[in-house]
Structure 1
Amino acid sequence: MTSRASAGASKRVRPGLILAAVAVVQFMVSLDLSVVNVGLPQIGAALGFSAVGLTWVIHAYALTFGGLLLLGGKAADRYGRKPVLLLGLALFGLASLAGGLASLAGGLAQEPGQLVAARAAQGIGAAALAPAALALLTTTFPAGKARVRAFGIWSATNAAGGALGVLIGGLLTEYAGWRWVMFVSVPMAACALALAWRAVAAGPPAVRGARPDALGAVLATAGMTLLVFGVVRTDQYAWTSPVTVATLALAAVLLAAFVLVERTTAREPLIRLGLFTNRSVAGANAYNLLLGAAMAAAFYFASLYLQRVLGTGPALTGVEFLPFALGVVAGSVLAVKLGYRLAPRTLLVIGGLLTAAGFAWFGLISPDGAFVTDVLGPSIVASVGFGLCLGPVVSTATVGVAAHESGTASGLLNSSRQIGASLGLAVLGTLAHDRTGQSVTPETLNDGYALGLSLGAVLLLGAVLIALTVLPRTGPPERADDRVVSLSARD
């Protein structure tokens, strides 16, 4: 009877289809963050964005996504992975469709705020589905070589979505118009919804505790938004001006209130603060935040360098990002092969150093440069290093986490990447704008972009330092568990 029930359960669980569904979800979510990058010059010209204000097309998605991910992770823990994933996919698809329509209306009305609001709506949808998908991956592949392979595939699709988003965005911008980049996620959401509906079995009834802390989610999102807003506005108000000081102080108050609410709320806190005593969780999220900060800024600066300095068209700019996409996939595949022999911490150090070297090379760009001499080489080095990091950082962030908190841990990791992306772009974008100055020429733009890319290398060296000092030393993953699985299979 027991063996029959186990056989029936194994038939209901379809790891291959679950992995496919999660891969499509992550590709879509990652693509949505980068697909607008190549179209930014056209978006800014069409809707009247300022040079720094243009970054809000990215911030609006990243901040709502990152700020609400913890709430999405808690919902996945409380209400079940499958229902939250399906609901999130439906919301994301509808938000993408509505965002495309809003961008059309916004373009006609010349209202930048409408496009920013549409991007924020997409971020809310992504926050609902991403942690549920990653939690499903964690519980479906708990240990061993299957886990290494699953997270390698996840990391490859995650990175490919970000890199290919630039290609897709460039082609759409040049041949269909920049507004159509908002529609691209709709068919992918429908595909992922169909896969998840068929592949994911209904889990056991969730343990119903108190309701998730929505107030905490609002405080965290508002605090991060004000923090980014204060940094970005330094192009108009100096760091020591009353406006900037008041904005940053209010952001600090809201974030402190978030921590207080999490410690005292009668509802289910978004995150148990004791989770950060787990060195793997704390170190992986700190690493991920810096990695996200550097990579988001790199996409932004490289896209603008190709178009505004070298004069490359949107479609060709997208094509020239292909080596980066292929390098990330190659790095992810290499991480899977090395993951059987090397500890995740070692891969994070190697990948971080490679990516930092690529960014430092990027910092040597010149106004009279060319794609082959100034972009291709550093793209390959940085992308392979980035691919080496992705799978190990995800796998590390869930080590030692109880099953009922896997959704929260997954949401936290996604949140750190998105918040890092927004903070990194805000800080590095502002510093690059200051270096460019008021006289905007290819030469001054080049100086600003080069500074931003060089500072990205510094952030990555900080991530490597965190991996060396915070993450615990471990051996290659789960060799003992592999032996147990092998013995079980023989029995």
Structure 2
Amino acid sequence: MSAEAPARPVGSPRRPGVKMALLAFCMLVFSVDYNIVYVALPEIGREVGFSAQSLQWVVSAYSVGLGGALLLGGRAVDRLGARRMLVLALALYALASTAGGLATEPGLLVAARVVQGLGGALLFPATLSLINTGFEEGPVRNRAYAVWGTAGASGAIIGSLVGGLLTDYLGWAWVFFVNVPLCVLAVAGCYAWLAPDARSGDSRAFDVHGALLATAASTLLVYGLINGPEAGWSSARTLTTIAVGLVLGVAFFAVEAKAADPLAPPRLFGYRGLLTAMLIIFVFQGAINTLHYLFFIQLQDVLGYSPLEAGLAFLPMSAVAMLGSGKLLPAVVKRWGVRGALFSGLTGVGASMIVLSLTMSTDTGFLPLLPAVLLWGLFAGMIYPAMFMAAGSDAAPDEQGVASGLTQTSAQIGGAVGMALLIAVANAGLDLNEGAANSVGDVVDGLRLSALTGGIAAVAGAFLAFRIKPPRAARQDGSATEAPPEPETVHSA
């Protein structure tokens, strides 16, 4: 094929910049929805009637819906079309946000958050699939990933700041209602600027058994890990939930090995880029989720910040994360490739946790914490898109959705595992009996030990990045991808 007239990737628009902006906006919706509820939690607890123990489910219910359906959502994107699934995801967000804002009891709000998570399970792989199939490999696609990652980081800023403002001036319900006009705008953009999904003529049956097993296994594992600290790790409910989830996970892989058209083809687990990305994001998400937790506990419970003040203190990290995604990532990938970005990114996140552990104290204000916060934001912003670059590097166009679904499922489970383990470290020296009083010094000592443990684990996990083939080897070795060369690979010829 002539290099002068390369084939346009499927679904590529005539104005790629507009498509890039639209996909970034959709990622912004995802990120805002994930982050905006945090500062409203105290008021939600008082107004809706959550107990101190059950309030976590306003956050955790979203993770259960997202983690449980990501693999199914990714395969639906591959089989039914990325634009269709993106529009459906935005519709689910809008409907669930409306229901969440109108909720008057905990059960209704938790259910709305689960449905929002289901929307995320479709939106996330749809945007990644559209990036991987709609932009040519190389600097153009790297730029699209950088813009996508910057939008995710800016969503953390907007979610924290706007969530605090809406809660203070309009009430907690508006952290849900604000999503509705954003989703309407995004749906209009999808129909205006995204090419319709191609009719593939594929008449193969959807892998119903695999879909049910994957969804049930992921949901039970995420639920069990999130619920463990509240119910007790040795409780019958926790042990049974996790055990059944593991059994269903084993059954899923057994079914997929024999399925004619599996939900997650077993060959995917032989893709070095995908498997490495899953392992790295497992470590990364456990560290970053715990770092969020430690940061807000330090500010509010130790330093006495209000929720709005804590949200404002979060802004420097989010602003620097945008710099990491938009500026640092393209430069590092150009110079050292994706594996260089993964190694330096996870090392930087680990270093930020170690620095934070050294600066936390009972009388330290926010400014001494700022170097660790800035370091954290810069490298977290850089590594997040890089992990999905690696995940999609080996997969064929019709496998992009399920590849991103597998990666994000690993993130959800890794986040739950890492947070459970590191919070257990933080609480190891505390008296957790109801009504027990712990000194602020004991609390800070636990936070410091947890941050140090997580930082060391993240630095150790960074060496997984060297499993990724360097750029030159990856181009020369045809075995790096099992799929036939796609149109976008022609441009590198």
Alpha-carbon contact 2:67-2:219 (below 8 Å) kept: no
The match for 1:121 is 115
The match for 2:60 is 59
Superimposed CA distance per residue, residues 168-200 of structure 1 (whole angstroms, 9 cap, x where no aligned partner)? 222223333333222232222122112111111
- Gap change, CA 1:451 and 1:211, over 3 Å in 2: farther
Distance in 2 (CA, whole Å) between partners of 1:53 and 1:10 is: 44
The match for 2:262 is 269
SS, match of residue 394 in structure 2: coil
Which of residues 456, 460, 466 in structure 1 aligns to 2:464? 466
Moved more, 83-92 or 172-181: 172-181
Percent of aligned pairs sharing the same letter: 36
Q: How does 1:121-200 map to 2 (within 5 A)?
A: 121-200=115-194
Superimposed CA distance per residue, residues 46-78 of structure 1 (whole angstroms, 9 cap, x where no aligned partner)? 556555543322221122112212211211211
The match for 1:87 is 88
Moved more, 37-46 or 388-397: 37-46
Alpha-carbon contact 2:92-2:119 (below 8 Å) kept: yes
Q: Structure 1 runs of 4+ off > 6 angstroms?
A: 3-7, 476-479, 481-484
SS, match of residue 363 in structure 1: helix
**Are 2:310 and 1:309 equivalent residues in the alignment?**
no
What displacement does 1:272 show?
0.8
The match for 1:345 is 339
Superimposed CA distance per residue, residues 355-387 of structure 1 (whole angstroms, 9 cap, x where no aligned partner)? 11111122231222211113x111101111112
Return the TM-score normalized by structure 1.
0.87
Superimposed CA distance per residue, residues 213-268 of structure 1 (whole angstroms, 9 cap, x where no aligned partner)? 344344334334433444455546654455543333222212222222323346x4
Moved more, 76-85 or 157-166: 157-166
Distance in 1 (CA, whole Å) between partners of 2:230 and 2:66 is: 27
The match for 2:454 is 456
The match for 1:290 is 283
The match for 2:355 is 361
Alpha-carbon contact 2:70-2:408 (below 8 Å) kept: yes
Return the TM-score normalized by structure 2.
0.86
SS, match of residue 190 in structure 2: helix
- Gap change, CA 1:390 and 1:300, over 3 Å in 2: same
Moved more, 385-394 or 434-443: 434-443
The match for 1:109 is none
Q: CA RMSD in A?
A: 3.2
Distance in 2 (CA, whole Å) between partners of 1:249 and 1:31 is: 33
Distance in 2 (CA, whole Å) between partners of 1:153 and 1:254 is: 37
Amino acid at match of 2:468: L
Alpha-carbon contact 1:334-1:388 (below 8 Å) kept: yes
The match for 1:428 is 422
What displacement does 1:484 show?
7.1
Moved more, 346-355 or 84-93: 84-93
Unaligned 5+ runs, structure 2: 477-486
Amino acid at match of 2:285: G
- Gap change, CA 1:237 and 1:400, over 3 Å in 2: closer
Superimposed CA distance per residue, residues 126-176 of structure 1 (whole angstroms, 9 cap, x where no aligned partner)? 212221121011111131211111111111112222343222222223333
Unaligned 5+ runs, structure 1: 107-111
The match for 1:395 is 389
What displacement does 1:471 show?
2.3
Amino acid at match of 1:401: A
What displacement does 1:17 show?
1.6
